[in-house]
A and B are shown apart, each in its own frame.
Chain A
Amino acid sequence: MTTYMDIISIFILITSFALVASKKITSYIKAFRIQSALLAMALAVMGYFHFVESGRIDTLVLCALIIALKVVYFPKLLNKTYDRVEHKVEKDFFMNIPMLILLCSGIVIFVYFIISGIGSFGNEDVTMQVVNMVSVVLIGVFFMITRKKAIGQIVGFLVVENGIFGAVMFGAEGMPLIVDIGIFIDLITGILIMGLMVFKINDLFDSINTNKLRRLKG
């Protein structure tokens, strides 16, 4: 079980590198979808054990929610948004990709040192999984600040969410169900609002490059 979780958490980390390395909007939506699928796999196994051991089904419910939203619905929504607003491929990052990858590796090393510095979370295996997930969160934030397109920022936000969700699952084996449900409601509304705003930005600015949003400075 632990080995399996370790491997999945490493794969989730790798997908966030794939995300940073991808050039086109469609390919990073794909990377996000793979990452969510991996998270769902981890949840499915954990949910199975929870069900067998104590008859709890909440983890399985969450797994189903993740598949429905993050694997199916959000990528579809983002692709649809992309089709409607963008007609040509533009360069979408401020730094070149090897540089970005190098900086992300730096992030992982940084997180490793910080978290091993504060002691362990019960046992060492969990610590490693938490390191991976916190790295995913910070890489997501990093991704958001290095991309120009509004859709890139939404994907970055979703990756941050994935990382946090992973940290909850691997580190704490879940939150109270009511909190989880609240988070999902917030997440759905948030993504819908952001998607709607991408259309509005496209209408008013004729582009979804957020570096054109720079009237309000100072």
Chain B
Amino acid sequence: MSFIYLAVPLAAVVLSFLIKNRKAIYGVVILSSLITMLLTLWLTYVNVSGGGNGLVLTMGILYIDSFSIIVLDIITILGFFIHIYSAGYIERDYISGKIDEKQVKLYFILMNAFVFTMLVSVSVKNVGILWVAIEATTLASVFLVGFYNKRESLEAAWKYIIICSVGIALAFLGIVFLHLSSTGVIASPSQVLNFTDLTVLAKGLDSSVLKFAFIFILLGFGTKVGLAPMHTWLPAAHSQAPSPVSAMLSGVLLNSAMYGIIRTMTIVNVNLGSNVFTGRLMIFFGLLSIAIAAIVILTQKDYKSLLAYSSIEHMGVIALAAGFFTPASLFAALLHMINHSFTKSMLFLSTGNILQKYHTTNISRIKGILKVLPVSGTVFIVGLLAIAGTPPFGIFSCEWNILTAVFSGKHYIIGSVTAVLLAVVFAGIVHCVFKMFFGEPPSEVESGEDRIAGTAVIVVLLIIVAALGLFMPDAAINLLNNAQAIISGGVC
């Protein structure tokens, strides 16, 4: 029964399909996302209050432990906020004649299907089904990326589906090799590709085949995570999708794919007894992503793709931290995942307000945001400072923890390079974007916030982001520690 939260978004899909009235659809999707959120928060509560080894539930192929619960909470909490925001955003597009009633329906059907596929991807213990769910996230979201049917959005959607499908196909090849490495060790058919069993049996797996499997899985899921050099779909898709969809893609989806990589990394590390092999690969791709993002951010002309490159950078930071595989760096990686998700979703939602005022994503054509949109403008500027890594926000403390973990592991060169690149990103964000906020707004833009609910959502998210940086309840620390222990698999 506890897995009922999987059924709620599915019910929302069916209801959005059946209900004729536009406003009723908004009500249904907001209610269903609220229920999903409450159900997973309840599971979190059960997990935290139960203590123990972090296992929450297991039933057949379904499985949740502390690590899954973290990603699940990110999906459902942000899912709830993004649905509230979407209702207002889509209603405004509808009133301004940009989209018709059919598209409103399609939007919520696909959005809930998208949430459902992400929930499945973190609630199973079979790597094969995890793969199927991650591939399904691409299929559910591709029309959301191409939602406005313009040339640019169609181009972005085509890039998205082709690059991600091929990438993820390579991940499947990796999963085939994972399966091959376990032949002879597996006792019963129910253990096939089961990451809990594979972690227990890891010592007996064939190391050389397993290494090969990890390379393909990292390349494949890495495409979906947006690790350089497989990131090319990401800036296009994030900048062309409607803002709430960008928030969902960047804040939520990237984590689900990262989840897949980290789960396999545990198996490989337990098998090899150290993190040297996986660590080198993860650190290489992580640093490369940070470097490429830093260079591109310096010369960025479009504020939504600037945020997209910033996501590539932060995914690089998470990969780097996970690659080091010490208790401290894993803890920081998980915390960074949470902080990045909330901050980035908040930023993408605020760009939605800006975009609907100015009708452009070009930085040079926007002036005087703080005068036109006093609330969203303030949230956006504070959010940019947070994402760039200014204290006291959570991103800063995570990056600080990660760098501390790197330096205390005596990796001075990697640590210094990372620190310099993060500084370049900071400079790039300040240099490119801050001129948007000041000066006289163009005369045709009328000032004032339009959508109360949408603006309230981003303010609430800002409060959460600020709180995450200042204070961590003991329960959250326990949860993160349990998850870290699960990922480390006893190796570190």
A residues bordering B, Cβ < 8 Å? 114-115, 118-119, 121-122, 130, 134, 137, 141, 144, 150, 153, 157, 160-161, 163-164, 167-168, 171-172, 175-176, 178-179, 182-183, 185-186, 189-190, 193-194, 197, 200-201, 204-205, 210, 213-216, 218
Compute how far the CA of A215 lies from the CA of B153 in the bound complex, rounded to whole angstroms: 10
Answer whether residue B410 sits at the interface, using C-beta atoms and an 8 A cutoff.
no
Answer whether residue B235 sits at the interface, using C-beta atoms and an 8 A cutoff.
yes
Compute how far the CA of A175 lies from the CA of B240 in the bound complex, rounded to whole angstroms: 37
Answer whether residue B192 sits at the interface, using C-beta atoms and an 8 A cutoff.
yes
B170 and A197 within 8 A (CB): no
Chain A residues positioned under 8 Å from B142 (CB to CB): 193, 197
State how many angstroms separate the Cβ of B173 from the closest Cβ of chain A.
5
A215 and B155 within 8 A (CB): yes
Compute how far the CA of A205 lies from the CA of B152 in the bound complex, rounded to whole angstroms: 11
State how many angstroms separate the Cβ of A199 from the closest Cβ of chain B.
11
Determine the residue in chain A with the shortest Cβ distance to B120: A182
- Among the 9-residue stretches B159-167, B274-282, B422-430, B452-460, the one with 4 or more Cβ atoms under 8 Å from chain A is B159-167
Contacts A118-B212, A176-B128 given; does A216 touch B239 at CB 8 Å: yes
A137 and B170 within 8 A (CB): yes
Compute how far the CA of A201 lies from the CA of B149 in the bound complex, rounded to whole angstroms: 10
Determine the residue in chain A with the shortest Cβ distance to B132: A182
State how many angstroms separate the Cβ of A120 from the closest Cβ of chain B.
9
Compute how far the CA of A121 lies from the CA of B385 in the bound complex, rounded to whole angstroms: 52
Compute how far the CA of A163 lies from the CA of B166 in the bound complex, rounded to whole angstroms: 12
Q: Which chain B residues numbered 119 to 151 have a C-beta less than 8 Å away from chain A?
A: 126, 128-129, 131-132, 135-136, 138-139, 142-143, 146, 149-151
A176 and B173 within 8 A (CB): no
Contacts A179-B193, A216-B239 given; does A119 touch B165 at CB 8 Å: no
Out of B158, B166, B176, B184, name the residue touching A210 (CB < 8 Å): B158
Q: Name A's interface SS.
A: helix
B128 and A179 within 8 A (CB): yes
Answer whether residue B209 sits at the interface, using C-beta atoms and an 8 A cutoff.
yes
Answer whether residue B96 sits at the interface, using C-beta atoms and an 8 A cutoff.
no
A172 and B169 within 8 A (CB): no
Chain B residues positioned under 8 Å from A200 (CB to CB): 146, 149, 154
State how many angstroms separate the Cβ of B180 from the closest Cβ of chain A.
5
Out of A161, A178, A193, A216, name the residue touching B143 (CB < 8 Å): A193
Compute how far the CA of A210 lies from the CA of B166 in the bound complex, rounded to whole angstroms: 16
Chain A residues positioned under 8 Å from B126 (CB to CB): 176, 178-179
Question: Closest 5 A-B residue pairs measured CB to CB?
Answer: A179-B128, A182-B132, A118-B208, A213-B155, A216-B236
Q: Which chain B residues numbered 344 to 389 have a C-beta less than 8 Å away from chain A?
A: none
* 17 further A-B pairs in the complex, CB-CB below 8 A; given A175-B176, A197-B146, A218-B299: A119-B208, A137-B169, A157-B169, A160-B169, A164-B176, A168-B176, A168-B179, A171-B176, A172-B176, A175-B193, A176-B128, A178-B128, A186-B132, A189-B139, A197-B142, A213-B155, A216-B156
Determine the residue in chain B with the shortest Cβ distance to A175: B128
Chain B residues positioned under 8 Å from A114 (CB to CB): 212
17 cross-chain CB contacts under 8 A:
A115-B212, A121-B180, A122-B183, A130-B180, A150-B158, A153-B162, A157-B169, A164-B172, A168-B176, A171-B180, A178-B126, A179-B126, A179-B128, A194-B162, A200-B154, A205-B151, A216-B235
